[in-house]
Amino acid sequence: MKGRAVGLRRKSSFSDTIYFATILFLFLPLFVLFTYSFNAAKGGTWAGLSLVWYEKLLFESPTLWRAVFNSAVIALGSATAATILGSLAAVGTSRYRFKGRGPIKALSSMPMVLPEIVVGVSLLVFFAGVGLKLGMLTIFIAHATFNLPFVFLLVDARLDEFDPSVIEAAHDLGADELQTLLRVILPMAAPGIASGFLTAVTLSLEDFVITFFVSGPGSTTLPLYIYSAIRFGVSPVINALSAVMVCGTIALVYPLRNFLKAFAARA
């Protein structure tokens, strides 16, 4: 009996070993980026501690900051558009039964299933067909499109959780459709909407493949900038930038996650 219990324990410590090895594997690139960002030399060989790449990042990289700015504009813009459209559609399909509801729900999650490269190529061909010049606008459209299903599904999942009789009660007490939407439904769906928006911002900042196809001159986003830096001569400025980005994201997202959790628990 005793042996069995010990045996089960030992098995779980095998999986723990794999887990910790995996964590090391996952953090290795971050560690390397951090270390190299303080390297005085340009190559991989260590040549002493230096802040030269951070200096270059701050004062000598206007195109990089332009790309950061473009990425931020696209991310906020496309996430806002996707959040408004996706949330409304989720409210409509989860609260009402009507003809075409099934196909609409199916259509709403389809862009998520399609391979990215196919979405990118089809949008490129489409924009070329309608004669829309590639640039910030086309990137915005593409990002809003691939963000929609995520917002829709997150809000839909949230709306599924609460009791529909609350809405009936609001109607019985004399609230009209707009009042019900603004005072009852949206506040209840708020955690879903917020996480939909944040997911959309993250996905937009992250996207490379689709953006690659629908971008034009002057609309370089951060991933596209890094891509060209990799292709046409690696600069350790990227190391410094990544180090800043990781720290920034952790500083930003961790409190936000806790806030969201508290928010979700309250609502």
Partner 1 sequence: MKRNYGPLYAVPQSAWLLVFFAAPLVIIVGYSFLEKGLYGGVKPHLSLAAYRELANPALLGVAFRTLWVSVAATVVTLIVALPCGYSIARSHNQSLRLFLIIVPFWTNFLVRIYAWISILGNEGFLNDILRTLGVTSESVQFLYNQWAVILVLVYMYLPYAILPLFTSIDKFDFSLLEAARDLGASRFASYRLVLLPNIRSGIVTAVLFTFIPIFGAYAIPLLIGGKDSYMLGNLIADQVTKTRNWPLAASISMAVTLLSGLAAVVFLFRSRKGEAVAEVAESGMDSPGPVGRGGSASGTGGPAGATGATGLTLEVPA
Residue ranges in 77-116 that form contacts with partner 1 under rule CB under 8 A: 84-86, 88-89, 91-93, 95-98, 100-101, 104, 107-116
Residue 141 CB: number of other CB atoms within 10 A?
16
Cα distance between residue 47 and residue 230, in whole Å:
22
Cα-trace Rg, the chain: 24
What residues between 45 and 64 interact with partner 1 by CB under 8 A?
45-46
Instruction: Name the residue type at position 135.
Output: G
Q: Closer CB to partner 1, residue 104 or residue 136? A: 104
Residue list 158-187, contact with partner 1 (CB under 8 A): 160-161, 171, 177
Distance CA 27, CA 50 (A): 22
Number of residues that bind partner 1 (CB under 8 A): 105
From the list 194, 203, 237, 240, which residue makes contact with partner 1 (rule: CB under 8 A)?
203
Is the Cβ of residue 44 or residue 62 nearer to partner 1 in the bound state?
A: 44
232 binds partner 1 (CB under 8 A): no
Residue 74 beta carbon to partner 1: minimum distance, rounded to whole angstroms: 14
Own/partner contacts of 97-105, CB < 8 Å, gap of 24 or more, are 105/156
Q: How far is the CB of 129 from partner 1 (least distance, A)?
A: 6
Closest CA to 239 of 66, 51, 68, 72: 51
Q: How far is the CB of 62 from partner 1 (least distance, A)?
A: 20
* Residue 40 in the binding site for partner 1 (CB under 8 A): no
Which residues, including other chains, have CB under 8 Å from residue 60's CB and lie 6 or more apart? none
